[in-house]
Amino acid sequence: MTPVKTHHHPSERGVRASGPAIAAFTATTALGCGVEALWAGMRADRDGLSACDFDGVTIPTRIGRVHTLDNHALPAELTAWDCRNNRLADLGLAQDGFVDALARARARYADHRIGVFMGTSTSGIGATEAAFSELGDDGTLPDWFCYEQIHAYDSLGGYLRARLGLTGPGFVVSTACSSSAKVFAAAKRWMDAGLCDAALVGGVDSLCRTTLHGFNSLQLVSAEPCRPGDVDRDGLSIGEAAGFALLVPNADAVADAPRLAGAGESSDAYHMASPDPTGAGAALAMTRALDDAGLTPEAIGYCNLHGTATPANDVAEAKAVARVLGSATPVASTKGWTGHTLGAAGVVEAVIALLAAERGWLPHAHNTRQADPELGIDILTTGRAAAPDYVMSNAFGFGGSNASLIFERGGD
């Protein structure tokens, strides 16, 4: 089927977005390493979820595990940074020629002018779990454990700087599930302010006992593969992933590169673990993204929902989507393929949105058998051929930390 190209605003895309260009992007998920494995799984309607078998955890649920990670090792000179999260970051970097794209950026910009903005929720906490299992009788931790390099939030940023030789500004964001969406907005601001010329953005989150038991204690996990937006949805599936994007100024990008057209953020401060049931904060983030991009709601041809498949989240987000985009915009959550990758969800789903626009196919809500009519939005239960000019990707975290991104399709 030939994809339908939609041109909403600006007219026939006569004006390109003013935000930074996306010079390269990659994602490694439970569907495999790199975007081709991710895309092939989605087109085949095949997910990466399997019965929970991580580190002896016996919770009856499905997880999105990156199995090739178990055999991946860090470079010998960087083993002081060794933990599952940094190994996943290293594995993710090795895909899609991303390191080569960074090398080209380093040849154009000084190392100290390339920012590093990363998101994670738990960083290397799995290493701390292992360290406490080896706690000495006197309460001392094992000699191999170094909190700063293998657990602290900036462990991820520190490892990437050491691995890539980057010395520019940046930080690691930990706002739960919105973490690696918010870094796009942060990098855009720092570039606009002239504090860096280009930026490495992304997020990594790896499976750990704390996350699995924590979400289970909140009664938020499903025994089945998650079903976002389904009338019988009953919880999420936890996953792990790494994703990265390289942002460069429009003037330095190839003509057909996609763009970060707009970014919007908000904070509900409604509840530590529950979304505002009215969807007000989510709607505000989406509206701010549209304002930042200079777009009307009609310009958005597809929205990748945060869509965790929990009853409360999907209702709140649906209210926000209906309020901002209306009920006819095609939408779907893609967590049914990868699981909810938490601090990596923002970048992974941004990559999926970019691929959807680039390749002319809108992914559907995998595992969703019957879209809940009470949600009142157009949840895709089968893929749709279309190549929208603008796509939106939502990421909403605990405590009401909301982020919404808009990307402009590359090409003509």
* pLDDT of amino acid 17: 60
* pLDDT of amino acid 251: 86
* pLDDT of amino acid 268: 87
In angstroms, the Cα distances linking 328 to 91, 245, 346, 379 are 39, 30, 24, 9
Annotated active-site positions, please? 177, 306, 340
pLDDT digits (tens, 9 = 90+) for 378-398: 999 999 999 999 999 999 987
Sites in the chain below the pLDDT cut of 50: 1-12
In angstroms, the Cα distances linking 298 to 48, 328, 412 are 33, 10, 20
* pLDDT of amino acid 340: 98
pLDDT digits (tens, 9 = 90+) for 325-336: 999 999 999 999
| Domain residue ranges of the chain, discontinuous segments joined by + | 18-408
* pLDDT of amino acid 353: 98
Buried b (16+ CB within 10 A) or exposed e, 44-65: eeebbbbebebeebebebbbbb
* pLDDT of amino acid 92: 98
- Which CATH code of 3.40.50.150, 1.20.1530.20, 3.40.47.10, 1.10.340.70 fits the domain covering 18-408? 3.40.47.10
How is residue 325 written in tokens? 């985009």
Q: What's the pTM value of the predicted model, to 2 decimals?
A: 0.95
* pLDDT of amino acid 15: 54
Q: How many whole angstroms separate alpha carbon 89 and alpha carbon 184? A: 17
